[in-house]
Structures are given as structure tokens and as C-alpha cells.
Amino acid sequence: MRTAKVCMVGAFGVGKTSLVRRYIHQQFDESYHTTLGVKIDTRVVDNIEKPIKLVLWDMEGADPFEKDKRPLARIRSYMKGAHGLILVADGTRPATVKTALGLYHDFCREFQYVPAIMLANKADLTAEWRFDDSVMPDALTLYHTSALNGQNIDAAFTALGKALSEL
Amino acid sequence: MTTEKQTEEQRKDDLERLQRLLLGDDHSRLNLLDKRVSDFESRSNDVAEVLPDAFERIANDPVLEAELEKPMMRTIRASIKRDAPAFAEYLFPVMGPAIRRAVADALKSLVQRINVAMENSFTIKGLRWRLEAARTGVPFAQIVLRHTMRFAVQEVFLIARDTGLVLAHAHRDENLVLDEDAVAAMLTAIQSFIQDSLGMSSDDPLRSAELGNRTLWVINGPEAILACVISGSPPRALRDELMALLESIHARYGERFTENNDTFAKDIGLRVLMQQSLREELDDQQAVSKRGKAYIYWAIAISLLIALVAWKSWQEYQQREFESRVVELFKSQPGYVVSSSRRQNGILLIDGLRDPGTATPVSLLNDQGLTDQGLQFRFKPFLSLEPGLTLKNLRTSMGLTDSTGLALNGGTLLVDGALSGNQAERLTRLAGVHPLINAVDLSGTSLSGEEALQLARIQLGAPDSVEMTPVDGRIAVSGKSSVSWYLEKSGTPQVFGGWKVDFGPLLGELKNAVRTSVGQLDGTEVFFMQRDRLSPESTLTLDAFAQQLSGLQNASTPLGIDLTITLVGHVDGIGTAQQNEQTSRKRVKVVRDSLISAGVDPQHIQSEHPAWSSGNENLSQRRVTVRVTGKDRS
């Protein structure tokens, strides 16, 4: 079975860790986030033709437009060698979409193109939903997700796993 | 055609001349080389000459070795496929020793682990390790081995440098908790974090980290890193070995690092190399010193155990001795019967019987210097027939003082010393009533005359017709009694409270009575009719007379009076002398037979036949006269 390194990035408070918690049996304590800035879990996607093991690097929140570039530099070093990306944004906060896309472009400039998906999270907050699907680049597959009710989470991870397994 | 041929030869010659002109001596060397290359035999010789050097070079060059391995493996596989039996035959001689060696190595390792585990199993450190084993779930032997190692590479990850993914993994401990991919990725993240935090470039990789007794060594290669978790203190040389190993892995498998599939991770060669990285070295000195200490601990523990067992045994022995002594004490004690003794909840229960006249169990124990602690008695009361205890009880119940002695001789209670009140009388009543007392001998006691008289009358069962009189320290018995009573009581000396019973006066009176009876019976006539036929009157009286005479004889003989009975036969004076004598004899015989049948002793019966006077017929003379005389035996 293949193994793929998948990095999950996004702004602070978009719900990355909640999404991971929803999808994965955790290997390490979440306090690693505050110490290392990353927490690593694994899960096998086996509901596809070529099952694949995802090693999921759940990054701390980062913003490429911030003055303090140290977190971004650390995330870049973590993202090195990633086979896939999961960009996470908060559907109620348009700024987080910008951050996620910024991180994506940053990665593409630094490394190479890899399969990536965008998770517009907190889709359960319909009243506050302000996500504009039209800003999505063609290379990104968009999923409206909710860590609260699990909406689209399995589908998103499965789709990424499938894309990675077919590389 | 000929012209063309000639032209061709001309051209060759020209070419050769030109070559000679241009190359000089080299031309001939070229020809030689051409010939050598074209010649198969010559070429084979040349290859054979360089082949050993070539193989040596391959052995020293991992890249060449890896390159050569592939075609060789293919060739070997094809050959085995083609002719497997032949290969089996070739391998057979080496397989046996190889298997034996493998088994021996495995056993050696096992024995080493067992030895180390045993040696450390009773030390304090061993106990600590045991706790660690319980806490971590790792087998105890493995924990011991881990601690007694100078070093041991516990786990090795071959990690792709850029992705942080695990390319291969080898470990000793089967109980891995975490996903190896997650661990490897985390290691990579930590390395990145450190580099990033300290502002170092990726060319300055993390080389080692220490946590507790574990060391993490990161051996960095161009494409992959070896992350080695090592317990103990690894020597510097180990790093070089691991580096060489990583280089070898790079050389052989570098191109396959990007394969990212199970096939690569399962490659036998890679797995062998990874296993080789799990080096270990036992700390012999520590193991030896542990062994020495362990022996001391064992010796101390065994000594303590022996001491404990000995102490417990001694306690048990003492307890048993005490219990045995107690049980024996009660068993040997008159008035005590021990039916059972058993220990229950640490207490010795003694069941049995106890005569109330005996001392209490506690006082008995105290007399022997024993305590009643741990003892419980359940004695039921009973009457003991132990002579000693019987006398003791008698003494108590009779109120006898120490001045009165009691003893049992056979069935006779011997009493001596002073008696008072009705003690003598009460004692005498025991005879025949008490199971142990048939008679009471009071001869050793001292009584007043009145007391002695009273006691004697009761003791002798004297009839009212008998008189007893204390005279001069003796009791004179007189009056009337049956001869049998006299004979019974006077047969043995009778003394009551120092007063001897004198039956002399009674004997005199009894003799007088016998003599009177003799006088009364003497001269009794038994009358006959014709010849020996008794008269009607005598028929009626003869038997009674015979009984009387017999009774008298029975009474007189023991009193010392011997009776003589003489039967005198008389006739009526008619007939011949012979006839009359016969008649006389017949009549005496009738009387004699009657007396004998009544019990009279025939030895004391005599007969007389006085002469008769013919012609003086007197029918009243048809009789037998019984003469009875008594004579005192001298």
C-alpha cells in the first residue's frame, strides 16, 4: 500500500483540528500543536480501488500575509515533500479563504504542484455563510464541510486519497 | 573478374604500405592485437586473467555489487526453476549445518535472556524492572536485557528525507503502540522544528537526542535518514557502522526510494540490512556483578526463609510439645478421662470426663508450671473408680480427718486410726454397695465400747437372741443363735475399733444345746410289726427323727462334738436264734437306711444285736433302740 504525506493548512480557528478529530483516530496528544506547531496522524483510505495510507500533518494556523514570518517558515519546512494538500477555510470568514489560497500559492511557488482540496468549513452555520465559490482556482476541488455534523468530510478525504493513489 | 581481383589486391598492398609508412612499428602491434582479439582462446585467457581482480573490485564497490546482484539473482532463480532437485541436492550438505547453527544461535540467545532474567530476578533492581514490565506490558526478560545491555539499537526507521515517510522499519520490541508512519513523520517534524527554531539550514541536521536511557541517533543520508532509537550508551564506532549501513542502503536502493509501495519495504535485501542495524552489546561486567549480587540476595533470602521456617517449626514443635504434655497430664491424672483433643482456630480443645473430686484443670496445670493459655476444656462430670480418688472422695464424704487412715486391699476397705460419731457405721455400710468395696475392715480403728458394740452388732448382723457385752476390751457374744451364724461370724477374727469379738460364751451355750438335744434323742424307740415292717406310728415318726438326728449331727460336728449313734435291734423271742438275728439285722438296717437317707454320716452309726431269750414271747420287743451319745473332740 502506498503512503502519502498530506499537509493540512489554513488560518487560525478555521477548524482544521476538529476536522481531523472527526476523521481520524489520533496518535498524538493535541498539545503537540502548541509545542511543535504540527500534529501528525494517519488513516488508511480503503474505500477506493487502490487503498492508500494518509500521513496527515495537521499544521498550526498560519497567515502568509502576517509580518511575523517565522510560523510560515516553519510550516513551509513541514510542507516539504508533501504529496497532497488540504486547505481549510472558515466559510463564515472570507479572510480565511484568502489565507488558505495564499498558503497554496506559496507552496506551489516553493515546491511543485500536488493534488489539493479546499474545505470550506463550518457549513452548518448557514445564516453566517459568506463563502464565494467563484474565487476557487480550477486546480482546487471545493468541499463545504462541517466538523460539527461531519458533512462532506469523508467524501473530501476519500477524493484526495483517490487522487493521490492514482499518481 | 581477374582484373577486379588484381585491382583489389593492389589496393590492399597500397593500404598496407601506407599504414607502415604512417604507423611504423605500431602497425605490427595493431595486427597482433587484432589477432589476439579475434582469437577466441586468446580472448578467454585474457578475461580469465583479469576476472579475480574484477570480482574483488565488485566486492569492494556496493554499487557494482548491487548491479551485479540483479543479473546473478535472475540467473540463479532461472536455474533453480529449471532444475530444482539438483539445487536441493547441492544445498543438502550445507543446509543441515546451517539450520543447526541457526537453531543454536537462537537457543543461545534464549538461554542468555533466561540467564540474565534469572540472575536479576531477585535483586532490588530486578523488582524495579518487574514493575516496569508490568507497567509497560513488555516481557520481563526483554526489560532485563534492555537494562543489562551496554547498548542495543531498539528500533530503526529509514525515512525519506523530503516526505518524512517511512521507507523501512525494523525493531526489537513487538509492542509498538504508535503507527510507524506517524512516528517517522513526527521525527521529521521535530527535526524540521529544531532546524527552524535554531535558524539552522537543512544541511545541519539533528544528529542525536537523549531521553532518559534512550538515545535517538539520526544518521543523515542524501535521500533518506536512519532514525535509530538506542538504549544504553552506544559507542562512537556504532555511528560509523550505521553510517556505512545507510550508505550501503543508498547505494543499493537509492533509486527505489521514490517507489513508495510495499514491494520496496518488503525487499529481502533491505530487510536484512535493516535487521543488521539492530546491533546490541551486553554489558558483561554489569551482568557478572549482578550475578554476584544476585547470589548474595538469594543467599540472604534463602537464609531468611530457612530461619523463618525453622522458627515457625520450632514454635510448632513447642506448641505440640506443650499440647502433648497437657493431654498426657490429664490422661495420667486419676479422675480425668480424655476422650479427644484437637486444635481449632489456634486453640486446643480437650474433651472428656472429670470426677468432681479432682483438682480443677487450671490448678492441675499451675501445679505443673503450665499455663492454660490457648486451651479450652470441656469435661463432663463422672464418678471415678480410681482407688486413690475413691478413698479421697470417701474421706471427703465421710468427713474423715487425717487421723483416720483409709486403704483398699482387694475389695476390703481398711480403716485405721480414729473414728467418731457414726463414721464407723457409715463406713461399714459401704460394703457391697460401693463398686470397689466388698468388706470394711475397721480392725485398725479405735472405738469406745459402746461404739464398737453398735458397730459389731451391725457388722455381724447379729440376731436379737444374741447378746453382746463389752468385757475387758473384748465383746463377749452369748445367747442363742443358729450354729450356721456362729460358724459364719466366728470363722474369721472379728475386731471392731480395737475390740475383739469373743464367741466363746456363745459356743458354750451352743454345745449345751447340742448336748440337750442328744439327751432328748437318745433312747428313741422305733417299733416294728412282723419282721422288718415298721409299725404305723414309727412309719410316721421315723423320717422326722432321722431328720432331727441328721440336723443334730450337722450342728454338733462343727461345734467340736462328735455324735455316736448306736442302733440296737430287738426281737420278740419267738423262733430260732438264726431267724431272730436275721430279723434284728433287718430292723437295724431299716432304721440305718432311713438315717443315712436323711443325711446322717454312716461312719458314726453302729449296730448292736443283743442276745434274745427263747420262749419269752413279747411282741413289744419288736423294736430298734437308737442310742445317741456326744463326745467333745479333744
Eight-state DSSP code of residue B522: T
B109 pLDDT exceeds 90? no
**Residues B494, B500 contacting (CB under 8 angstroms):** yes
Nearest CB to B181; choose among A28, A53, A81: A53
Environment class of B557 (CB within 10 Å of its CB; exposed 0-12, middle 13-18, buried 19+):
middle
Mean of the per-residue pLDDT values of chain B: 82
Q: Do B189 and A78 touch (CB under 8 A)?
A: yes
B42 pLDDT exceeds 70? yes
Q: Can you tell me the mean pLDDT for A31-35?
A: 66
In terms of CA atoms, which chain B residue is nearest residue A7?
B163
Please name the residue that has the C-alpha cell 474433651: B351
The model's pLDDT over B440-472, given as tens digits with 9 standing for 90+, comes to: 887 777 778 888 888 888 878 888 899 999 888
| B477 Cβ neighbours under 8 A, 6+ residues apart | B462, B466, B467, B468, B501, B502, B503, B505, B506
Environment class of B7 (CB within 10 Å of its CB; exposed 0-12, middle 13-18, buried 19+):
exposed
Partners of A38 on chain B (C-beta within 8 Å) are 189, 193
**Which amino acid does the sequence have at B475?**
I
Partners of A1 on chain B (C-beta within 8 Å) are 261-262
In terms of CA atoms, which chain B residue is nearest residue A79?
B163
Nearest CB to B165; choose among A5, A37, A78: A5
Q: Can you tell me the mean pLDDT for B381-402?
A: 84
CA distances from B605 to B40, B602, B628 (A): 174, 5, 9
- To test the contact with chain B by mutation, choose from A2, A5, A79 the residue with the greatest count of B C-beta atoms within 10 A, namely A5
In terms of CA atoms, which chain B residue is nearest residue A32?
B186
Q: Do A28 and B186 touch (CB under 8 A)?
A: yes
Q: What string of DSSP letters covers B476-513? A: EEEE---HHHHHHHHSS--EETTEEEE-HHHHHHHHHH
CA distance A123 to A91: 7
A118 pLDDT exceeds 90? yes
CA distances from B257 to B84, B167, B183, B185, B222 (A): 34, 7, 19, 16, 11
CA distance B380 to B358: 13
Closest Cα to residue B341, out of B313, B376, B366, B388? B376
| A42 Cβ neighbours under 8 A, 6+ residues apart | A24, A27, A53, A54, A55, A56, B179, B181, B182
Q: Is B274 helix (H, G, I), strand (E, B) or coil?
A: helix
**Neighbour count for residue B180 (Cβ, 10 Å):** 17
Q: Is A130 helix (H, G, I), strand (E, B) or coil?
A: coil
Structure confidence at residue B288 (pLDDT): 47
Q: Can you tell me the mean pLDDT for A131-159?
A: 87
Work out whether the CA dihedral B378, B380, B386, B392 comes out positive or negative: positive
Structure confidence at residue B520 (pLDDT): 92
How far away is chain B from the Cα of A147, in angstroms, using its nearest Cα? 23
The model's pLDDT over B230-276, given as tens digits with 9 standing for 90+, comes to: 887 888 888 888 888 888 888 888 888 877 777 777 777 788 888 88
CA distances from B593 to B543, B583, B590, B597, B602 (A): 10, 15, 5, 6, 9
In terms of CA atoms, which chain A residue is nearest residue B190?
A36
Query: How big is chain B, counted in residues?
Result: 634
Q: Which three cell numbers stand for residue B302?
A: 534463602
**Residues A121, A41 contacting (CB under 8 angstroms):** no
| B311 Cβ neighbours under 8 A, 6+ residues apart | none
CA distance B231 to B507: 128
Structure confidence at residue B291 (pLDDT): 53
Q: Do B193 and A82 touch (CB under 8 A)?
A: no
In terms of CA atoms, which chain A residue is nearest residue B259?
A2
- To test the contact with chain B by mutation, choose from A7, A27, A31, A107 the residue with the greatest count of B C-beta atoms within 10 A, namely A27
Structure confidence at residue B616 (pLDDT): 66
Closest Cα to residue B468, out of B482, B484, B446, B450? B450
Give the model's confidence band at B106: pLDDT under 50 very low, under 70 low, under 90 confident, else very high. low
| B561 Cβ neighbours under 8 A, 6+ residues apart | B511, B514, B515, B518, B630, B631, B632, B633
CA distances from B314 to A136, B281, B318, B320, B323 (A): 93, 50, 6, 10, 14
**Residues B421, B435 contacting (CB under 8 angstroms):** no
CA distance B502 to B146: 116
For B623: left if phi > 0, alpha if psi spans -120 to 50, otherwise beta; the answer is beta
Q: What string of DSSP letters covers B311-359? A: HHHHHHHHHHHHHHHHHHHHHHSTTEEEEEEEEETTEEEEEEEE-TTSP
**Which amino acid does the sequence have at A144?**
H
B201 pLDDT exceeds 80? no
Please name the residue that has the C-alpha cell 544541511: B203
CA distance A9 to A57: 9
* Residues forming a β-bridge with A45: A52
Helix B140-148 to helix B124-136 angle (10° resolution) is: 120
**Residues A24, A56 contacting (CB under 8 angstroms):** yes
**Neighbour count for residue B184 (Cβ, 10 Å):** 26
**Residues A10, A87 contacting (CB under 8 angstroms):** yes
The model's pLDDT over A67-103, given as tens digits with 9 standing for 90+, comes to: 777 777 888 888 888 999 999 999 999 999 989 988 8
Q: How many CB pairs under 8 A join A and B?
A: 66
CA distance B290 to B297: 10
Compute the CA torsion angle B17, B23, B27, B29 (nearest 10 deg): 170
- To test the contact with chain B by mutation, choose from A55, A69, A76 the residue with the greatest count of B C-beta atoms within 10 A, namely A55
Give the model's confidence band at B62: pLDDT under 50 very low, under 70 low, under 90 confident, else very high. low
Q: Is A163 helix (H, G, I), strand (E, B) or coil?
A: helix
How far away is chain B from the Cα of A129, in angstroms, using its nearest Cα? 35
Q: Is B225 helix (H, G, I), strand (E, B) or coil?
A: strand
B208 CA to centre of own chain: 65
Please name the residue that has the C-alpha cell 432321722: B546
The model's pLDDT over B22-38, given as tens digits with 9 standing for 90+, comes to: 877 787 788 888 887 88
Closest Cα to residue B382, out of B421, B334, B419? B334
CA distance B381 to B357: 10
Cα angle value A151/A153/A154 (rounded, 5°): 115
Structure confidence at residue A92 (pLDDT): 93
Long-range contacts of residues B597-602, Cβ cutoff 8 Å, at least 24 apart: B597/B546, B598/B543, B598/B546, B598/B547, B598/B549, B598/B550, B599/B547, B599/B550, B599/B553, B599/B554, B600/B546, B600/B549, B600/B550, B600/B553, B600/B565, B601/B553
CA distance B175 to B531: 145
> Interface of chain A against chain B, CB under 8 Å?
1-5, 27-28, 32, 36-38, 40-42, 53, 55, 57, 70, 73-74, 77-78, 80-83
| B543 Cβ neighbours under 8 A, 6+ residues apart | B594, B598
> In 3-state terms, chain A is what percent helix, strand and coil (to 5)?
35, 25, 40
Highest mean pLDDT among A28-37, B293-302, B600-609: B600-609
Mean of the per-residue pLDDT values of chain A: 86
Structure confidence at residue B104 (pLDDT): 66
**Residues B151, B280 contacting (CB under 8 angstroms):** yes
Give the model's confidence band at B161: pLDDT under 50 very low, under 70 low, under 90 confident, else very high. confident
Q: What string of DSSP letters covers B564-617? A: EEEEEE---S-S-HHHHHHHHHHHHHHHHHHHHHHT--GGGEEEE-----TT--
Structure confidence at residue A119 (pLDDT): 93
CA distance B185 to B183: 5
